[in-house]
Amino acid sequence: MSMAVVGMIAGMALGFAGYFGGFGAFLLVAALGAIGFVVGRFLEGDLELGDLFRTRDDRRR
């Protein structure tokens, strides 16, 4: 199992821990799952922090 999947599962587990109601809980689980996935990809080395903060002009080069 990759670190990205482990991070996503950890984020979803945190979301389920805070699960106490409808659509807001769904958004919480989805957001924490996405954050966990990104952190997992970063820890695996597949994603660099600069990739998230580059401007459009920097990507053209």
pLDDT tens-digit map of 15-49: 777 776 666 776 777 787 788 888 888 888 877 77
Question: How many angstroms separate the CA atoms of 6 and 24, rounded?
Answer: 23
Whether the model pTM is above 0.85: no
| Res 58 pLDDT > 70 | no
Res 41: pLDDT: 83
| Res 59 pLDDT > 60 | no
| Alpha helix positions (H), the chain | 3-17, 22-44, 49-53, 56-60
Q: What tokens appear for 4 in the block?
A: 């990205």
